[in-house]
Structure 1
Amino acid sequence: MGRFDRAESGHGSENEPKDKGHAKKDTEEEEEEEDTMMSVERVFESKVVPSWRQQLTVRAFVVSFMLSVLFSFIVMKLNLTTGIIPSLNVSAGLLGFFFVKTWTKVFEKTGMLQVPFTRQENTVIQTCVVASSGITFSGGFGSYLLGMSGRIASQSESNPGANDYKDPSLGWIIGFLFIVSFVGLLSVVPLRKIMIIDFELTYPSGTATAHLINSFHTPGGAKLAKKQVTTLGKFFSFSFFWAFFQWFYTAAEDCGFVNFPSLGLTAYENKFYFDFSATYVGVGMICPYIINISLLLGGILSWGLMWPLIEKREGDWYAKPDPGDMHGIQGYKVFISIAMILGDGFYNFCKVFSRTLVGLFHQVRERSSLPEVGSVSTTRSPLLSFDDQRRMSLFLKDQIPTSFAVGGYIVVAIIAMVSLPQIFPQLKWYHIAVIYLAAPVLAFCNAYGCGLTDSSLVSTYGKLAIFVIGAWAGASHGGVLAGLAACGVMMNIVSTASDLTQDFKTGYLTLASPRSMFVSQVIGTAMGCVVAPSVFWLFYKAFKDLGLKNSQYPAPYASIYRSMAILGVEGFSSLPKHCLTLCYGFFAAAIVINAIRDLVPKKYSRLIPLPMAMAIPFYLGSYFAIDMCVGSLILFVWEQIDKTKADAFGPAVASGLICGDGIWTLPSSMLALVGVKPPICMKFLSRSELTTS
């Protein structure tokens, strides 16, 4: 909510009352009534805000753990298929509300309920779940960490050296994540007052989540939330049983509905088909229309136009048809997509960083000096609304000592410099020292930019670390592996820092204590450091072809990140003919397209595709883009019929489709581990193949 400006009362001079004192009183009463109507905290004024310790309940963390496992499977599946991960904050808040509300109702009927369910506890659950599932992304299971493996190395290089790859192991992955995942939390704790109160950064995602949780706990909002949960449950069940049904027909390679040539066999060979994935239909309903259209355009440009033309140059531009390494057409697919990703990342980095500098300049200019982090002012300005006064008072009440954050950061940095070289001998202690010296500045920039634009540049900072540390280490000293490991260190620091600042904003708007936010983030991060590697290990052991190009889980970003590391260490010598020229062109095109998007009016910019989204199908194909466009079409038709219901229940339907299909991966992985195979193969063949057979 925050500060708002009241409109003038509209009493013109010709109608001005003679009794000005009475008029002033009427105006004040009107303003007070308007303030009450617009105030969120007036609704909750009669409810006591629990202390930060009371907000951290056992039931909150039990529910958080259950949801963390569910969301880790969902994010892991998305990581290992396309790498497109929608925001799951709404699902976390909604499911957290449902489970705890069910819990409290059961205990209320038995007379054993002692602590009512509050919005602060709901915020703790959402924070904990998002922190845990966030490790599934920043842990690099579909990018840098899997890119270290020999399985990916053998696809990218004909003969990788023993010093250039490290196969996954559950033990060292958990240890690595525990070492690098907490320091980002400590880096932004001293800045929480500056970011949330002094700079008044909006953090759109954190603000939206807070409004959602506040609405759940008002009388009308609770009724709507129950209906949303019922809808989510119906589509969760449908999605789960649909995935179970499809499993029966996947007994061999290229079998099942997932390989249905819905647009014809020729289109299927060029990755154009609908694969009946409930997950990506749901993701398409959550993602903005322009992202889904951009994905489809990228697939048409690459698999429909570019790759068929380049394949005709076999023997001229490259010697082998597609050997799977970077010397054939695979090189064009990987490095052109990398060029677009880097161009998009470079433009957005410059854009967000410049806005950060401009914003900081204006903030500092308005004040003679930056406010002290530890200062607590209890003075209530008459310009502040009732909401802001109450939120600011409680936000500044529970201080997190700056000495604790700074001291903890130094201790964790020393532990990392000693222990990380034991896991990755290619990564030296001085490499880690440089990363930890630069990380607070980059974490602040990312958190500040995220507050302004809602854009997190986590992967951009990770790629920067790949090139800098990889080139510093050198090819002969395991620079590829050093760069990927450095990427992991940087991504975890910057990601957790921006996530915590978002959560501080959510807590500020729901009156959740900063201490409870910090503790729940720490506990959620600890959960993620164990749950995410365990889920990944289940996938890795159950699916022996995980990471391979044409497998069920191709993990496209693993090959892309490894190729970036090779490029940073060895240069452009391994690229096929004319590949570098095409890369330059697509790098520049990504910058130009983004610039046009920012320069033209919004009514036109929303029709211009996103280069980052266009780049993903260059490697994978368009099958998932078609799924997501189907999701967009469903939502669009629904909005035309009944926009109110679509807005209220669309996210619940999408979450149900994603969650049901995502949780099926747990039993399917277990079945694969114990050697149980589906009984039927449903396969589609051309008439010519049937004739010859």
Structure 2
Amino acid sequence: MGAVEGEELEWKSTIEEDPEGRGGGDGGAVRRRRGRSDGDEDEAEAEAAASIEREFDGKPVPAWREQLTVRAFAVSLLLGVLFSVIVMKLNLTTGVIPSLNVSAGLLGFFFVKTWTAALARAGLLRRPFTRQENTVIQTCVVATSGIAFSGGFGSYLFAMSETIAKQSTETDYSQNIKNPKLGWMIGFLFVVSFLGLFSLVPMRKIMIIDYKLIYPSGTATAHLINSFHTPSGAKLAKKQVKMLGKFFVCSFLWGFFQWFYTAGDNCGFVSFPTLGLEAYQNKFYFDFSATYVGVGMICPYLVNVSVLLGGILSWGIMWPLIDAKKGSWYPADIPKNSLHGLQGYRVFIAIALILGDGLYNFFKVFGKTIIALVSQMKNKNSANAVVGSDDPSAYDTSPVSFDDKRRTELFLSDQIPKPIAYGGYIVVAIISIVTIPHIYPQLKWYHVLVSYIFAPVLAFCNAYGAGLTDWSLASTYGKLAIFIIGAWAGASHGGILAGLAACGVMMSIVSTASDLMQDFKTGYLTLASPRSMFISQVIGTAMGCVIAPSVFWLFLNAFKDIGMPGSEYPSPNALVYRNMAVLGVEGFSSLPKHCLTLCFIFFAAAIIINAIRDIVGEKIARFIPLPMAMAIPFYLGSYFAIDMCVGSLILFVWQKINKAKADAFAPAVASGLICGDGIWTLPQSVLALAKVNPPICMKFLSRSMNEKVDAYIASLS
């Protein structure tokens, strides 16, 4: 979450300089200023040049059916698998997932451009590659990989398993477990993932045209795709892809090389005690992860420093102090991973920080949404909203630009019939209400019905808030559903599992609705048809409903210790979500001594820190840590934070040496590192399934322990 949030904020700072890419360009500027001075003519030419759509004025816009090509969906399928593997790996390690939109757009451009260039040389090219087709690919890929996140494989869905339940505080979990099986996971995703796509389709004109919401991530993606299809942008894109390819190969080979030294627990470079053995015991070490070095290069400095600060506060200060209270605050002989001991403080204090941060931002964005919506409704008929204004109630009466006129005309030309939207929502809702209780008997049909009655309103609020702030609060809505539905179902009727399932229902609807509106904004700015956007989102979602569970199933079968503390894939968020459900149903009675007091302190601290950040202004706020990012290492440790800070350091030095080159190629380098290391997981999984084990175990021992090992080996001989 922290990484995604930080990435969105970074996008926003770029977009607000010129929200719609118009640069003040006006379609009639050149004609009106003819006959004036040379300076005026130069100014007019500059304004015309700043118009994005004038660069594409001579190129016909393909019909919506022509934007949906077989090659686009073939590339989308390939990239969807790649990004689903990456997101799944991040889900099951730390849960920090950066934005992969740039990589999706860049690789989509590369694959299709390479294919069309080869056909053109052979004289067989029938249909050129357009920015609209590029937008379809990006939309489909992000929709596919998005299911790997909203499907809850690292959170609510895996939290239902017996593996996670055994680590929780509950004493009897017999009626609150549902172990992952490929069949029911695919079925569940199919019945919950499409509802959000239908819920806000009738609102697309209001959101994009009438209210002119910015949607910074969607706007940034559109600018990226538009630039790819200009002559200068295409040249830069080729260089970026070349750079991505180099680091993809290096990252993949580095993962392969590391594998040879991992023949056992705590073996290999991932267990290298780079800062000393005592620091290693407290989770402070660099684990040579190319993935998180790449993530660190994408995330803003504040996110990376916040994560590191959280690790220092928890593993460097708090946990050693609480560990010293063993025997007083909690039994000394309690198992190491029991939530009634030190592990309980780690998990529940992290939950308190996450909930405090999430609720603060929920009410903040929700309040902004309501205020802005009321303001829009009052002023809707008096003027046109100023695009990109921080205050949505600000209006102007300037003439409509050439770009806006062209985009609006095409955006409204391919209408999605309202009966399809309304009918689709009702049909899918009925299917879900009937089906979901069969998958989760603890979640009754009336629980699902009530969720679907309120879901469109919540989806609208989330999509509107994302348009204003670029913050999607889908996971927060899901957490609220855990507490509300879990408490409604009750502890004696499987309330824990009901709450987790309700989280999946709500999170899927709210997340996909917001994503679709982002894609409509991208399509609006690239002249892609809303119909092609909607269909590509539907196809991408359908792909994700099969690909994501299949990838998760591959992980489960290849790596037997998934979800266990200290393993390669500990899935920390799953335990967090499980214990949220336990708290919602059973209360706080099972917490260790003074844990509840500390939870209240950190819950309040998260709210206070966020309030201070909003009060002091942007210049000072960039030095105040983010509570959500600080919470991530409380359970896991600081090793990945060190990786991310190394990525930040690389980017910082690169920008000092050559800022222009760093800004142009750092995202490509980071994407290459993430993709290469992520895709290595596939052959690693195949090797594990084939029972091909690494040949070497590289371990690190203290001098005294090494002497004991040498003496033991000598005694055997």
> Does the alignment reach a TM-score above 0.5?
yes
> Matches of 1:21 and 1:84 in 2, distance apart?
52
The equivalent residue for 2:124 is 112
The equivalent residue for 2:646 is 630
Selected match of 2:98 from 77, 83, 86? 86
Task: State how 1:18-167 maps to structure 2 within 5 Å.
Answer: 32-157=44-169, 159-167=171-179
Shift of residue 367 of structure 1?
A: 2.6
The equivalent residue for 1:207 is 219
Q: Does 1:294 align with 2:306?
A: yes
Supply the AA of the counterpart residue of 1:413: A
Shift of residue 603 of structure 1?
A: 1.5
> Matches of 1:21 and 1:553 in 2, distance apart?
64
Change beyond 3 A, Cα 1:301–1:474? same
Q: Does 1:430 align with 2:443?
A: no
2:167–2:338 Cα contact (<8 Å) kept: yes
The equivalent residue for 2:712 is none
Shift of residue 286 of structure 1?
A: 0.2
> Matches of 1:631 and 1:290 in 2, distance apart?
13
Task: State how 1:481-492 maps to structure 2 within 5 Å.
Answer: 481-492=497-508
1:556–1:619 Cα contact (<8 Å) kept: yes
Selected match of 2:377 from 364, 378, 381? 364
Selected match of 2:696 from 674, 680, 683? 680
> Matches of 2:36 and 2:276 in 1, distance apart?
75
1:142–1:558 Cα contact (<8 Å) kept: yes
Q: Does 1:267 align with 2:283?
A: no
> Matches of 1:458 and 1:390 in 2, distance apart?
33
The equivalent residue for 1:376 is none
The equivalent residue for 1:13 is none
> Matches of 2:151 and 2:200 in 1, distance apart?
20
Change beyond 3 A, Cα 1:583–1:608? same
Supply the AA of the counterpart residue of 2:84: S
The equivalent residue for 2:348 is 335
Q: Does 1:412 align with 2:425?
A: no
Shift of residue 112 of structure 1?
A: 1.2
Supply the AA of the counterpart residue of 1:347: Y
Task: State how 1:492-503 maps to structure 2 within 5 Å.
Answer: 492-503=508-519
> Matches of 2:34 and 2:78 in 1, distance apart?
60
Selected match of 1:657 from 673, 688, 705? 673
Q: Does 1:326 align with 2:339?
A: yes
When the two structures are superposed, what TM-score results if normalisation uses the length of structure 1? 0.95
Deviates more, 1:401-410 or 1:61-70: 401-410
Selected match of 1:611 from 627, 636, 642? 627
Three-state SS of the structure 2 residue aligned to 1:496 is helix
The equivalent residue for 1:226 is 238
> Matches of 1:7 and 1:475 in 2, distance apart?
61
2:23–2:47 Cα contact (<8 Å) kept: no
The equivalent residue for 2:4 is none
> Matches of 1:27 and 1:382 in 2, distance apart?
23
Q: Does 1:402 align with 2:418?
A: yes
The equivalent residue for 1:524 is 540
Residues 169-191 of structure 1: per-residue CA shift (max 9 Å, x gap): 00000000000000000011010
The equivalent residue for 2:247 is 235
1:205–1:454 Cα contact (<8 Å) kept: yes
Three-state SS of the structure 1 residue aligned to 2:632 is helix
Change beyond 3 A, Cα 1:443–1:369? farther
Shift of residue 688 of structure 1?
A: 1.2
Q: Does 1:348 align with 2:361?
A: yes
1:240–1:660 Cα contact (<8 Å) kept: yes
> Matches of 2:330 and 2:68 in 1, distance apart?
61
> Matches of 2:362 and 2:305 in 1, distance apart?
24
Shift of residue 35 of structure 1?
A: 3.2
Change beyond 3 A, Cα 1:589–1:39? same
Q: Does 1:562 align with 2:578?
A: yes
2:169–2:582 Cα contact (<8 Å) kept: no
The equivalent residue for 1:180 is 192
Change beyond 3 A, Cα 1:648–1:687? same
The equivalent residue for 2:315 is 303
1:635–1:646 Cα contact (<8 Å) kept: yes
Residues 528-579 of structure 1: per-residue CA shift (max 9 Å, x gap): 0000000000000111100001100000000000000000000001111100
The equivalent residue for 1:377 is none
> Matches of 1:506 and 1:530 in 2, distance apart?
26
Residues 256-288 of structure 1: per-residue CA shift (max 9 Å, x gap): 000000000000000000000000000000001
Residues 228-269 of structure 1: per-residue CA shift (max 9 Å, x gap): 000000000000000000000000000000000000000000
The equivalent residue for 2:20 is 2
> Matches of 2:120 and 2:35 in 1, distance apart?
51
Residues 314-346 of structure 1: per-residue CA shift (max 9 Å, x gap): 111111444423211111111000000000001
Q: Does 1:602 align with 2:618?
A: yes
The equivalent residue for 1:668 is 684
Shift of residue 121 of structure 1?
A: 0.3
Three-state SS of the structure 2 residue aligned to 1:47 is coil
Identity %: 71
> Matches of 1:420 and 1:285 in 2, distance apart?
41
Supply the AA of the counterpart residue of 1:344: D
> Matches of 1:6 and 1:446 in 2, distance apart?
30
Three-state SS of the structure 2 residue aligned to 1:186 is helix
Three-state SS of the structure 1 residue aligned to 2:200 is helix
> Matches of 1:566 and 1:179 in 2, distance apart?
26
Selected match of 2:292 from 280, 293, 299? 280
Shift of residue 21 of structure 1?
A: 11
1:322–1:329 Cα contact (<8 Å) kept: no
Selected match of 1:576 from 592, 608, 633? 592
Supply the AA of the counterpart residue of 1:337: A
The equivalent residue for 2:715 is none
Unaligned runs of 5+ in 1: 9-19, 372-380
C-alpha RMSD of matched pairs (Å): 1.9
1:2–1:385 Cα contact (<8 Å) kept: no
Shift of residue 109 of structure 1?
A: 1.6
Change beyond 3 A, Cα 1:418–1:101? same
Shift of residue 143 of structure 1?
A: 0.3
2:285–2:638 Cα contact (<8 Å) kept: yes
Three-state SS of the structure 1 residue aligned to 2:413 is coil
Change beyond 3 A, Cα 1:4–1:365? farther
1:60–1:121 Cα contact (<8 Å) kept: yes
2:496–2:582 Cα contact (<8 Å) kept: yes
2:95–2:154 Cα contact (<8 Å) kept: yes
Change beyond 3 A, Cα 1:5–1:68? closer
Three-state SS of the structure 2 residue aligned to 1:41 is helix
2:198–2:421 Cα contact (<8 Å) kept: yes
Supply the AA of the counterpart residue of 1:652: A
Shift of residue 33 of structure 1?
A: 2.6
Shift of residue 402 of structure 1?
A: 1.3
Deviates more, 1:138-147 or 1:150-159: 150-159
Change beyond 3 A, Cα 1:243–1:4? closer
Three-state SS of the structure 1 residue aligned to 2:167 is helix
> Matches of 2:602 and 2:324 in 1, distance apart?
21
Change beyond 3 A, Cα 1:199–1:415? same
> Matches of 2:208 and 2:380 in 1, distance apart?
16
2:24–2:50 Cα contact (<8 Å) kept: no
Residues 373-420 of structure 1: per-residue CA shift (max 9 Å, x gap): xxxxxxxx9711100010000000000011211111011111111000
Deviates more, 1:266-275 or 1:405-414: 405-414
> Matches of 1:206 and 1:643 in 2, distance apart?
25
Deviates more, 1:594-603 or 1:288-297: 594-603
> Matches of 2:630 and 2:573 in 1, distance apart?
14
> Matches of 1:654 and 1:2 in 2, distance apart?
27
Shift of residue 37 of structure 1?
A: 1.5
